Structure 1
Amino acid sequence: MRVYLLIMLFFCGVSFAQNSITGSVTDSNKQSIPGANVNIVGSSGGTSTDFDGTFKLNTASKPPFTLKVSAVGFETKTISVTSLSQKIDVVLKDEETKLDEIVVSASRTPERIIESPVTVERMGIQEIKNTTAPTFYDGLENLKEVHFNTSSISFKSINTRGFATVANTRFMQLVDGMDNSSPALNFVLGNLIGVSDIDVASVELLPGASSALYGANAFNGIMFMNSKSPFTNEGISVYYKYGQTSQDAAGTNDYNDFGIRAAKAFTETFALKANFTYMEATEWIAADKRSMTSGGDSHAVNQNYDGLNIYGDEVTTFIPNVGQVSRTGYREQDLTDNKVKSMKADFSAHFKPWKDDTEFILQYKIGTGSTIYQGANRYALKDFLMQQGKFEVKGKNFFGRVYFTSEDAGDSYDMRFAAWNVNRSAKSDTEWFTNYATAYQYSGAVMGTNANESAAIARNFADYNILPPALSFLPKPTGSPRFEPGSAQFNSALAKVIANPDLTQGAKFIDHSKLYHSDVNYNFRDMVKWAEIQVGGSWRKYIMDSEGTIFTDYDGPIEYKEYGAYAQLQKKWLEDRLKFTGSLRYDKSQNFDGKISPRVSFTYAAGESKRHNFRVSYQTGFRNPTTQDQYIGLDLGPFALIGSAPENLDRFQETMPVSLAGQAAGAPATVNLSGQNAYHNAYTVASVQAFAASANPADLVVANIGLVKPEQVQAFEAGYRSVVQNDLSIDLNAYYNIYNDFMNTARVISPYYGTVGTNAADPNVQMTYAALAFGDRRVYQVYTNTTAQITSFGFGVGLSKKVYKDFEFGVNYNYAQFDFDQSQDPSFVAGFNTPKHRIKASLGNAKVAKNLGFNVNVRWNTEYLWQSSFGDGMIPENTVLDAQVNYGLPKLKSVIKVGATNLFGKDYLQVIGAGAIGQMWFASWTINP
């Protein structure tokens, strides 16, 4: 009922005593300028032009008054209005203003990009219109310094300056001031609960550390997505996109995307806005068959085959006189419907009770969908739901907001566990391996088969209960034959497994986690004249609620709190040429000592017109361990993930069966293990592997794993921005980062019994040797910090110029590298996951002919190493070409766009283990009256 009443407010015929001013805005070539801002000077009233450059401004003000008309890329103009019947026709003069665009994110105060103390990238309405990608969010990949890690067609993770997987916990994303990271996962799920293409006003991105103003998670970058105001962008806008995706594994499939936006300013003081979008497509299917074990890439030549995107074959055991053998798995595409869906909506009410900039906002956002997430395993997120609610008050010099984020995992499940337990629904692991061993040994003894032939007979018997006539005397198995994908038995077993949260039998995971956040900021610029001073602070509470399926919250939700405060001073000297910015922030997390993050920067505007801007900055950043780093307790089968919060080590408990050989050596039938074993009674994986090969106890190395603590970075940056020869924009930057206490995961092996150590004469240590030899051991992945100091460095060059009339060419190059001494921490895995060289180029013209525009983007990168807990490997070099053509229909107040991505290219990878990215073409029709 509440939603119905809200929608009715948009369409009901409520009338108010208002005056209307109409007009148009064009350029010097009489081409319409969409999205131009039209504001009443001295009032909060305003609007923006439509696609055909026309506007209608409703106001309670009576003439005379003055209008200010502005648009990116044009000079601002003021017009005097003396009569309501006056027709306003404004012609704006072209101006190269790419570096004069106003951004807020870099210093929490409006300033020109050219004056920003740090590197900042921006996407405005014109860039959004011209993007060659199917959505503005996909188009972010064409920004300088941005690299994507694509897990799914609808789940793309932004990587800036390296050290990122799909789960990029070092990057922060704000939507209208709200952090839209998952409360439980602690990273952004793409644009699941973000902004619609027809509601986004601008995007600002800061690559690099930003902790001095934005706190712990703004470690390697932060992005701000800002939506349109219903006061300045009224009306009902609609878009529809249809396209087709093409991939070797998935074939050709339909793509549909629809959105509607309704906004109404009923008076100068009250406005409402609503958005709804829906997208559906077929997934980029992950079908990488490479083996994660030594040997060939199939069970035909490798009886211990473990395919990267084949699940169930991770279940393996050693059979005497046979060797290491794995079960037959299922392909990822057999375990999910490979359909991607995304539906999101938001509603907001806006109040301006006084005739100034003070605005009260009530906002609610909801997003649900189905996609694929890759972490330690591959997860099918089905009907995953996130919600956010916000109350905010903001004005010229202040803001204060409180908001919540809640999520529900819906019908999501782990595809690896799904495969394991579908297999076990047909036949237990014990029976399967017994069948295999029996058929293997008898086929050789009775039939004289070789190893490969015996392996084929054994697998056929273990999978399907089928034997050659010569072995028909063997006992018939009690278990069922393997369930074939698509069969009624398979579908029934899979449905049961993915609905069961007990990972010994099922694959479902539960998540009802929440996040509560508040932050405030005040700028004293109207009180203090000698400098611009700001102060602010934030508070946050996490509530982890997975019912013991992800975290160790078996006995109820776990709560965790953080808070912080900051101050900033900006001062200009030398006729406003030299600007100093100094920031200082203090943050405290519940389980860790407080951290202070300073930032100091200087910018200098040289030249007669102050168009040569030089900048240097130094700042520190830090990142708190995530809720998963601290409180996860997840059994993934081959290993378990154990968070390192001190209380979590005791919360995690499991009971493990001891082998008959171990019991004969004096160990009990079962042992109880806790997180303490993982952190305080374990050997390194590499040393256990060496011990298995040599049987020499001297090869064993005790894993000295410290509890995880915040990681820190010192960031040095220098840059230069300018516009020369009137239309050549230059943007240069270079950075050097020093990381300390870099957060890392490590694999360790804990024996079921005995005490790890180096004294081979100690009976307790000798028991660990027996445990390792008998297979009585547990593999854990633990969260810690490396002792190695890591550095990263890079630089970027960006150029943009009008090469002929309104044809604009842009090119940028980025270099990125990291360095550390492996000998300081031999087991450390950096996970830089970033190409050393990247080049991006674009050519476009928004008005190549009347109402006709086009744009072309090309991206190239060198090959690079991908490292993650799911899989490692080289990402090949690739070149990607995208293009679009758009045509405006002013009479229909609409734009038609036809575009294609990865034109002429082959499927390419961005993430080892994820689906290769294919080609896509799309056509869209956007109506924006």
Structure 2
Amino acid sequence: MKKIYLILLSLLCIAQAAFAQGGAIKGRVVGTGTDEALIGATVLVEGTSKGTTTNSNGEFQIPNLSAGDYKLRVSYIGYSHPTIPVTVAAGSTTDVGKISMKASVMIGEEVVVSASRRPEKLTEAPATISLISSRDIELSPSFNVGDLLARQKGVEFIRTGVLGTGINVRGMNSAFNPKNLQMNDARLSTLIATGLPLGPLSTVVKEDIEQIEVVLGPAAALYGPNAHNGLVNTITKDPRRSEGTTLALNVGNQQVFSTRLRHAMVLSPKFAFKVTGEYTKGLDFAYDDTVYFGATQRAAELELDRHFNTLRGEAAVYYSLNDKSDIILSYGGSNSNNIAQTNAGRNQIKDWQVHYLHARYVSPRVFAQVYHTWSNTDETYAINQRTQNYLSFKNAGFSEEEARRRSYTEQWAGSSPSVGIALPRGAVFKDDSRRINGELQYNNRLAGFDYIIGTQYQRDIANSQNTYLFDQAGPIEVDQLGFYGQIERQLGGGFKALVAGRADNHELYGFNFIPKAALVWTKNDHSVRLTYGKGIAAPTILNLEGYLFGGLLIGNSEGYTLSDGTKIGKLEVESINTIETGYKGKVSDKVFLDVNAYYNMSKNFLSPAINIATQGRKVTKRGDTPMSQVIPGTPEAGAAFLLTYVNFGEVDTYGADFGLTYAPIPALNFVANYSYFGYKIDKNNLTNDGNRDGKVNQLDLSINAPANRFSLAANYNQGKFFGSIFTRWVQEFDFFSGINVAASADEALGLKENARFGRTWNYGPLGGFTNVDVSAGYRINQYLTTSAQVTNLFDSKVREFVASPFIGRLYSVELKVNLPAFNKKASDVK
């Protein structure tokens, strides 16, 4: 035992001696012309994982660096990004002195990673990217970081309530839309069985977000299926560069209360950690989606609960193997209660939990990760179906107590409690699903070519406990394997070319190859790009193997046969081919311009859930299985009503986005964004007849996007005060998604506004509004900031999405405490 102790002591002494030979860098970051300390500026040692942030005096210190030559990169939103060469000697501290940063509210020098899966300047990225920075988030008084998505060019922002926000890109939206892939720290942030973005179920806390990168257009070549027409990549903060404690408190109307905590600390040259937590609650706007039962009966949603709450948090440990490589271990979890929109009616989310465990290895050449995601809910239910079930029992004379109790699982077909039968029309959604992901990526340079190669593996284990999937025999397991590669070459004269491709094989829908190519010209602060990309929207497990409400909505993995012999094929991937051109650059020191134009060619696109039993035809078979065996109790003649998903048609869409930033003075900028979207479709081609009713019309198109959108923002940030005014205009447009309709009157379709249409109530088209948001904040001192925000200042009653309330005024007040980490003095570093 004594010998072991001596060995350990010797190793400790050796380690201390090694650390003692390390050097350090210190300095102070200030604003040019003012010498005002820039608090929280990020200082990175390029080519390493070393870095820190400045303290309340603008000072920083980075210890334990090996002797050698380095470059410091200093960044602070609203200022230039200088790079400073520095030489570190063993056992001493190098003082770089005062680093002056020129104030600028222009963009363009920010570094993004989502376009090419490697760091590059925003202006050089071969894609249209909208960026939300940590400073944007810090200056936003809202508890909901999703509010900032409304300010991004090219983004079709939607608000479904106080809590619910989301985006779409370039049309084809629905109330069940997995086409915009969401990722957090290179990890899929989607539900397992449905592929839908986590949204309110996310585990990320606002104060821990470093930046959000929104890629417009296909990104599937590098990120896989469902990065179909966009990617939202959230990157969280590194604790080694963001030490300190942040406590935030929000209160507002609609009973909103939100409290959030983030703490990050560097424990040693090797170890750092961070923890976050949030509790948010409130009451959604008053709205009751109409439920119909039978031919005439109309009712309110049963036991609608408009209260929402979420508890979420994450923890991560960072271990530095050396100056250039790290191992990162993290966990996150959330528990949520809220209302969610679907294309078959709204869901009451009850204690839905999402968890993950994530391990990453990060170095300049190799990136590797493995993570496990799981979700669980036992009491979530479809409000529409449960209400219909309840009405069936009440109409037959059952007691109130029994009608409510049995409404979760059954529907009564009969005239009285003694005459009739109970049909299995389960409204409860249970989930005990898991996903396992692994990825290995390598990058290098060879003969003047920069290349990236990688492979990804995914296993989905979907388990609905027999409530909404064909999983009576046990969980549904689906494997997916993809290989991707990218080559980039500098051609001279400011030109670079990029080609990428992905080979992807899915156990259920087979093999797909996804290419991408780009040519980019860059000079000084200007760039012009021409890109081609393919994307695929893959059918989800729910699309393929869903079994909802006792067979009213069934997935389409095998195809269907109708009573007149019509065949409806099984689902394939939807594909989109996009050609895009764009320009980004600083027109002057005060003007930044970002414009793009695109043309999309889509085919086999996935419909929302539609009824395929139309024109008197019944559904007789699913694959080779009679419907009487698929849905117990179905007559031999077939099902007279069946919702499912189909592929259909070819649609060309096109559009353009225009973004202009003008900064007359360093503290003030104006941002104008405009987007146009159009489409063309051959109405004489019956392959475009999505609902199989023999004609092509609005019920088939599901374009679901406004033709024109415009926004204008004024942002001010100087000294202790900051604020903004944001105006957004959205043109009126029609929206069709499953049973949901929000459209202008159409006599040919029998469609009227403010009237029943099918299984829903049509309030008329979406959009057609102008909203004004204002916010202001004051930095009381270096530790305390207070701010306030009013969204929809003039209380315009507008609807932004189907099955959603009319959105009114929202206001909130935020108090934030920032306690920066203690920075050691130079004399403390040995």
Q: Within 5 Å, which residues of 2 pair with 1:184-263?
A: 184-244=193-253, 253-263=254-264
Give 1:882 deviation, angstroms. 1.0
Give 1:327 deviation, angstroms. 3.5
Cα pair 1:234 1:262 within 8 Å, conserved? yes
CA distance in 2, matches of 1:883, 1:865: 29
More strand by share: 2
Give 1:156 deviation, angstroms. 2.2
Asked if 1:511 corresponds to 2:425, the answer is no
Cα pair 1:408 1:511 within 8 Å, conserved? yes
Asked if 1:824 corresponds to 2:685, the answer is yes
Asked if 1:810 corresponds to 2:671, the answer is yes
CA distance in 1, matches of 2:162, 2:587: 40
Taking structure 1 as the reference length, what is the TM-score of the superposition? 0.75
CA displacement, residues 96-141 of structure 1 (integer Å, 9 cap, x when unaligned) = 6511211111011111111111111111122222336443222112
| Structure 2 residue identity aligned to 1:27 | G
Structure 2 match to 1:631: 545
| Structure 2 residue identity aligned to 1:914 | S
Cα pair 1:841 1:857 within 8 Å, conserved? yes
Structure 1 match to 2:512: 595
Give 1:385 deviation, angstroms. 0.7
Residues 156 and 32 of structure 1, relative CA distance in 2, 3 Å threshold: same
Which of 1 and 2 has greater Rg?
A: 1
CA distance in 2, matches of 1:378, 1:359: 44
Structure 2 match to 1:310: 290
Equivalent residue pairs, number: 740
CA distance in 2, matches of 1:41, 1:680: 62
Cα pair 1:682 1:748 within 8 Å, conserved? no
Residues 21 and 604 of structure 1, relative CA distance in 2, 3 Å threshold: closer
CA distance in 2, matches of 1:208, 1:755: 37
Structure 2 match to 1:346: 314
CA distance in 2, matches of 1:315, 1:776: 22
* Structure 1 range deviating more: 745-754 or 183-192: 745-754
Give 1:506 deviation, angstroms. 5.5
CA displacement, residues 806-860 of structure 1 (integer Å, 9 cap, x when unaligned) = 211110100011221123236322222211100011101111xx31111111110
Asked if 1:614 corresponds to 2:528, the answer is yes
Give 1:266 deviation, angstroms. 0.8
CA distance in 2, matches of 1:479, 1:559: 41
Q: Within 5 Å, which residues of 2 pair with 1:80-119?
A: 89-95=98-104, 98-119=107-128
Q: Secondary structure of the residue that 1:411 maps to in structure 2?
A: strand
Q: Secondary structure of the residue that 2:570 maps to in structure 1?
A: coil
Alignment counterpart, residue 680 of structure 1, candidates 561, 577, 582: 561
Q: Which runs of 5+ in 1 are unaligned?
A: 1-15, 245-252, 288-308, 317-324, 429-477, 484-488, 650-678, 684-701, 758-771
Structure 2 match to 1:661: none
Residues 41 and 570 of structure 1, relative CA distance in 2, 3 Å threshold: closer
Asked if 1:327 corresponds to 2:274, the answer is no
Cα pair 2:789 2:812 within 8 Å, conserved? yes
Give 1:923 deviation, angstroms. 0.9
CA distance in 1, matches of 2:471, 2:406: 24
Structure 2 match to 1:557: 475
CA distance in 2, matches of 1:706, 1:753: 16
Q: Within 5 Å, which residues of 2 pair with 1:114-513?
A: 114-131=123-140, 133-244=142-253, 253-287=254-288, 309-311=289-291, 314-316=292-294, 325-329=295-299, 331-332=300-301, 335-354=303-322, 356-375=323-342, 376-428=344-396, 479-480=398-399, 483=400, 489=401, 494=404, 497-498=407-408, 504=424, 507-513=427-433
Alignment RMSD (CA, Å): 3.1
CA distance in 1, matches of 2:816, 2:192: 34
CA distance in 1, matches of 2:538, 2:811: 41
CA distance in 2, matches of 1:531, 1:64: 28
CA distance in 1, matches of 2:666, 2:444: 45
Q: Secondary structure of the residue that 1:126 maps to in structure 2?
A: helix
CA distance in 2, matches of 1:373, 1:603: 41
| Structure 2 residue identity aligned to 1:827 | D
More helix by share: 1
Residues 242 and 894 of structure 1, relative CA distance in 2, 3 Å threshold: same
Alignment counterpart, residue 642 of structure 2, candidates 773, 776, 780: 780
Give 1:754 deviation, angstroms. 9.3
Q: Within 5 Å, which residues of 2 pair with 1:456-855?
A: 479-480=398-399, 483=400, 489=401, 494=404, 497-498=407-408, 504=424, 507-525=427-445, 528-575=446-493, 577-606=494-523, 610-635=524-549, 640-646=552-558, 679-682=560-563, 703-744=566-607, 745-749=609-613, 777-786=639-648, 788-825=649-686, 827-828=689-690, 829-847=700-718, 850-855=719-724
Cα pair 1:746 1:827 within 8 Å, conserved? no
Cα pair 2:563 2:638 within 8 Å, conserved? no
Residues 797 and 857 of structure 1, relative CA distance in 2, 3 Å threshold: same
Q: Secondary structure of the residue that 1:834 maps to in structure 2?
A: coil
CA displacement, residues 688-738 of structure 1 (integer Å, 9 cap, x when unaligned) = xxxxxxxxxxxxxx5431111111111100001120221200111000000
Q: Secondary structure of the residue that 1:410 maps to in structure 2?
A: strand
CA distance in 1, matches of 2:784, 2:364: 34
Structure 2 match to 1:872: 741
Q: Secondary structure of the residue that 1:532 maps to in structure 2?
A: strand
Structure 2 match to 1:76: 82
CA distance in 2, matches of 1:876, 1:824: 30
Q: Secondary structure of the residue that 1:344 maps to in structure 2?
A: strand
Residues 899 and 32 of structure 1, relative CA distance in 2, 3 Å threshold: farther
CA distance in 1, matches of 2:531, 2:66: 49
Asked if 1:912 corresponds to 2:802, the answer is yes
Cα pair 2:261 2:278 within 8 Å, conserved? yes
* Structure 1 range deviating more: 74-83 or 854-863: 74-83
Cα pair 2:562 2:617 within 8 Å, conserved? no
Cα pair 1:425 1:493 within 8 Å, conserved? yes
Give 1:178 deviation, angstroms. 0.7
Q: Within 5 Å, which residues of 2 pair with 1:56-75?
A: 56-57=60-61, 59-61=63-65, 68-72=73-77, 73-75=79-81
Residues 44 and 605 of structure 1, relative CA distance in 2, 3 Å threshold: closer
Structure 2 match to 1:26: 30
Structure 2 match to 1:928: 818
| Structure 1 residue identity aligned to 2:247 | V
CA distance in 1, matches of 2:488, 2:94: 45
CA distance in 2, matches of 1:513, 1:600: 36
Give aligned-pair identity as a percent. 22
Give 1:623 deviation, angstroms. 2.1
CA distance in 2, matches of 1:234, 1:396: 23
| Structure 2 residue identity aligned to 1:708 | L
Cα pair 2:106 2:661 within 8 Å, conserved? no
Q: Secondary structure of the residue that 2:803 maps to in structure 1?
A: coil
Cα pair 1:359 1:395 within 8 Å, conserved? yes
Residues 96 and 417 of structure 1, relative CA distance in 2, 3 Å threshold: closer
Q: Secondary structure of the residue that 2:684 maps to in structure 1?
A: helix
| Structure 1 residue identity aligned to 2:571 | V
Cα pair 2:143 2:206 within 8 Å, conserved? no
CA distance in 2, matches of 1:373, 1:881: 26
Structure 2 match to 1:432: none
CA distance in 2, matches of 1:754, 1:902: 48
Q: Which runs of 5+ in 2 are unaligned?
A: 1-15, 412-421, 622-633, 691-699, 743-764, 820-830
Give 1:370 deviation, angstroms. 0.8
Structure 2 match to 1:695: none
Cα pair 2:350 2:379 within 8 Å, conserved? yes
CA distance in 2, matches of 1:605, 1:753: 59
| Structure 2 residue identity aligned to 1:635 | F
Asked if 1:857 corresponds to 2:722, the answer is no
Q: Secondary structure of the residue that 2:429 maps to in structure 1?
A: coil
Q: Secondary structure of the residue that 2:388 maps to in structure 1?
A: helix
